[in-house]
Structure 1
Amino acid sequence: MKERIYLDWNATAPLRPEARDAMIAAMDVVGNPSSVHAEGRAAKALIERAREDVAALVGCSPKEIVFTSGATEAAAVLAGLPAGVAVRVQPTAHDCVVAHQREGDAGDGAAVLALGVVNSETGIVTQPPERGEDGIFRLDDLAGGRLFVDVVQAVGREPFAFAWTGADFAILSAHKIGGPKGVGALILREGVDIETLRPGGGQEMGRRSGTENVIGIAGFGAAARAALSDQEAGVWDRVRQLRDAMEARILDASPETIVVGRDSPRVANTSCLLTPGWKGETQVMQMDLAGIAVSAGSACSSGKVRVSRVLLAMGFDEIQAGSAIRVSLGPATTESEIERLVAAWTAARTRQRSRAA
């Protein structure tokens, strides 16, 4: 029996060996990081090392990092903004950001512009806008005096530095870069005040209470170190070549298939394929039976048979959007795996055509 092929890295990346080793080592550190004795200081040291490593990956100061349970919790910083502050969200942003969209009474200067730097479904890159002379960030018909960026799918794959963007907030998640699930971070520009994400004992500089997930945070830090090393070594260039070759072969076999954003800036690993008349969930099941894991969109919508809000916002109709699958690669993806995917997909496409004839 052939080994399964995992091509759903945007949903979650496989746990890196470096992260696993760091987590196993952290399990033997018994102290509470808020305790002042030696055991507590040892636990605290693990957290602070990880904070430095995550900051190095994201291009910010370590003191701007607030550890959370994931990007969704980090995005809740938007819910804590004063009632009069508008939150204007890019239509193609992730659901965890769109959930906080609201209009307020104040003008652009008091509004927050929220966007995703890399779209999880299509891989399309949105460059953060520069602050205008009037202090306002503008994107299409959206504007705000503060900038919130979702970099969950960007960090480790695309050059990014929080300090360059002028953003006030950013969110990221460990398991997208090969760290453990259930840990992430809010990046908060120094000098920006927020309501605490979780009231209580005052951990994380009073921004997010609760005893820190030392084991998860240690894994996050190790994954960040490894991700930065991969990025600097140019491993994503090879991934891009594999992705582009895969798309070319699929289009040769099925010219009517649409590669979303093919002529737009995209992250190296992501391919969103629309084949009108062939439901995305059917394709996902057929690939699964062939031993290949792909998805029909954002993993946060798994189990929900619905047309992609992102694709509809981009102007695709329901039939096109309903045919979408997402193939997302990683540094461990091989040429032989891509060959198996293309062979399985084109064979399934041939069968689907014959049934539709």
Structure 2
Amino acid sequence: MIYLDYQATTPLAPEARDAMLRWMDGPGGSGFGNPHSPHRMGRQAAAAVELARDQVAALFPAGGRVIFTSGATEAINLAIRGSGSTGAVSYSAIEHAAVIDTAETAGRSHVLNVARNGQCNTRQDLPNDTRLVCLMQVNNEIGTIQPTVEWHRKAKANNALYLCDAVQAYGKIEVTGADMIAVSAHKLHGPKGIGALWVRDGVDLDEVQTGGGQENGVRSGTLSPMLCAGFGVAAQEARERMAEDAEHVEKLWHRARDLFEEWELNGSEDARWHGNMNIRPKGPNGGGLDVNRLMSECREVMFSAGSACASGSGRTSHVLEAIGLSAKQAKASIRLGWGRYTTMEEIETAAAKINAAAKAQGIEAGA
């Protein structure tokens, strides 16, 4: 099988797996201790958690703290619900559902419009009642890099906080400044089931998940040393290999663009992470491509018809709609994602299969 769905999840790095194994010890071992217990095993587990916290923090700006969560969705919920109840939340039209759904149920909200190139329009003003601005750094569906620095400035000028969903950016490019940043381990070759919220010094949060008062009284629940250790080593590997990984991704991008040159790219060519290629056949209706049939006929190639979080819902992608695609164009779009462990041969083989399957539908991508 050829895996080209890196935006949905990434393969677990062997270094992260090795780090996790120690903390899976059962009877006779010493790695299963509760990190919140005061005895020796608990202190050992707590030390592993704090080492991981430092490793994760090294990819964030200086001057903040890392709160471990079960994933980016929980981190986003903690940021939105824990940062205050007065005022509205303003978010871009292409945010992940974790932001949109949480903002809409947390009180008043405003939607910020997006240009056709897939970037949040910086010419618009923030509504005066905004208390929190939510803008991701790299879009999960089309890969566009957002003008986060400008929106952070706008938030500060409005006396609002700024939350950045950096799930697709963390460990790949430098994470820009914000008041809060949400990330997930399994998007940078770490384990599923753990993420983090980085909180700038001076920003206070109310406890959203109550219980034992762990994580400095902000997020209750027993931490998993195994997951923390895997996350920490994955973050360390990403930091050390960032330039190498980016160079590899860039080579794959240019080859893929050549192989899919007759397809239309959704979103900016340049202002994007080049490990994400969201494309459709040219034409007003995306050539009428049946993506479900395409995926069935290319079952050895793992790719997406959109965000994995919304796949199977039957809904048209809100991201593709926001950049001006018709419903038919959006439904004829596919997303290919690659990264550290993808080979050039896999890109070439996948392209041959996808292009052949599209042609079998009577679709010439350039028509």
- TM exceeding 0.5: yes
Partner of residue 136 from structure 1, selected from 135, 155, 175: 155
CA distance in 2: counterparts of 1:354 and 1:181, whole angstroms: 38
| SS of residue in 2 equivalent to 1:221 | helix
- The match for 1:268 is 274
1:91-123 Cα shifts (integer Å, max 9, x gaps): 111110111234279973752110110000101
* Identical residues among aligned pairs (%): 37
- 2:351 is the alignment partner of 1:336: no
CA distance in 1: counterparts of 2:132 and 2:100, whole angstroms: 12
- 2:235 is the alignment partner of 1:224: yes
- The match for 2:306 is 297
Do the aligned partners of residues 10 and 136 (structure 1) sit closer, same or farther apart at CA in structure 2, a change above 3 Å counting? closer
| SS of residue in 1 equivalent to 2:253 | helix
Do the aligned partners of residues 202 and 99 (structure 1) sit closer, same or farther apart at CA in structure 2, a change above 3 Å counting? same
What is the TM-score with the length of structure 1 in the denominator? 0.88
Counterpart residue type for residue 345 of structure 1: I
Shift of 1:247: 1.9
CA distance in 1: counterparts of 2:162 and 2:197, whole angstroms: 13
Contact 1:55 1:65 in 2 (8 A): yes
Partner of residue 225 from structure 2, selected from 204, 207, 214: 214
| SS of residue in 1 equivalent to 2:77 | helix
Do the aligned partners of residues 131 and 246 (structure 1) sit closer, same or farther apart at CA in structure 2, a change above 3 Å counting? closer
- The match for 1:250 is 260
Partner of residue 247 from structure 2, selected from 237, 241, 249: 237
Structure 2 residue ranges without an equivalent (≥5): 26-30, 111-125
Contact 1:108 1:145 in 2 (8 A): no
Contact 2:155 2:161 in 1 (8 A): yes
Contact 2:291 2:305 in 1 (8 A): yes
CA distance in 2: counterparts of 1:293 and 1:312, whole angstroms: 24
CA distance in 1: counterparts of 2:258 and 2:291, whole angstroms: 19
1:126-153 Cα shifts (integer Å, max 9, x gaps): 03134788x7358xxxx66210000000
CA distance in 1: counterparts of 2:305 and 2:109, whole angstroms: 35
Shift of 1:279: 2.8
Do the aligned partners of residues 132 and 68 (structure 1) sit closer, same or farther apart at CA in structure 2, a change above 3 Å counting? closer
- 2:68 is the alignment partner of 1:67: yes
Do the aligned partners of residues 104 and 151 (structure 1) sit closer, same or farther apart at CA in structure 2, a change above 3 Å counting? closer
Alignment size in residue pairs: 337
Counterpart residue type for residue 97 of structure 1: V
What is the TM-score with the length of structure 2 in the denominator? 0.86
Partner of residue 87 from structure 2, selected from 85, 98, 109: 85
- 2:327 is the alignment partner of 1:322: no
- The match for 1:148 is 163
Do the aligned partners of residues 318 and 104 (structure 1) sit closer, same or farther apart at CA in structure 2, a change above 3 Å counting? closer
| SS of residue in 2 equivalent to 1:100 | helix
Partner of residue 157 from structure 1, selected from 168, 172, 177: 172
Shift of 1:156: 1.2
Structure 1 residue ranges without an equivalent (≥5): none
CA distance in 2: counterparts of 1:214 and 1:132, whole angstroms: 34
